């Protein structure tokens, strides 16, 4: 008798814990239309983010190219000036 009562009590407690866990992870079910709308919004955001990332990458590349070209030009002008002084 005692063992069965304990087991039953443990089962009740276990079920309660299980139900609590389920409630925590339970999400509100949405209609198909709402799901589609959300999906489209996410896709749109992802596209925007992708475009901005690519644009940023291109900007950075162009900046580095410009700085490299600028440094080269400066070095060339310095060399030319030195040549002019030596001659």
Buried b (16+ CB within 10 A) or exposed e, 55-86: eeeeeeeeeeeeeeeeeeeeeeeeeeeeeeee
How many domains does the chain fold into? 1
Return mean pLDDT, the chain. Answer: 87
Domain assignment present for residue 50? The answer is: yes
User: Phi and psi of 9, rounded to 5°?
Assistant: -65, -45
Domain assignment present for residue 81? The answer is: yes
* DSSP letters for 26-57: ------HHHHHHHHHHHHHHHHHHHHHHHHHH
Domain assignment present for residue 35? The answer is: no
Residue-wise pLDDT for 25-34, tens only, equals 777 777 888 8
Domain assignment present for residue 19? The answer is: no
Domain hosting 50: range is 41-87
What contacts 38, CB < 8 A, 6 or more positions away? Answer: 30
pLDDT band at 87 (very low <50, low <70, confident <90, very high): low
Domain assignment present for residue 71? The answer is: yes
Domain assignment present for residue 56? The answer is: yes
**pTM reported for the whole predicted model:** 0.39
Domain assignment present for residue 59? The answer is: yes
């Amino acid at each position: 008798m005692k063992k069965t009562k304990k087991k039953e009590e443990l089962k009740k407690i276990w079920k309660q814990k299980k139900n609590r866990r389920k409630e925590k992870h339970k999400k509100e079910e949405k209609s198909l239309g709402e799901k589609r709308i959300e999906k489209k919004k996410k896709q749109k955001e992802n596209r925007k983010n992708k475009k901005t990332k690519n644009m940023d990458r291109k900007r950075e590349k162009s900046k580095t190219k410009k700085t490299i070209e600028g440094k080269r030009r400066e070095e060339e002008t310095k060399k030319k000036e030195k040549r002019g002084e030596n001659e």
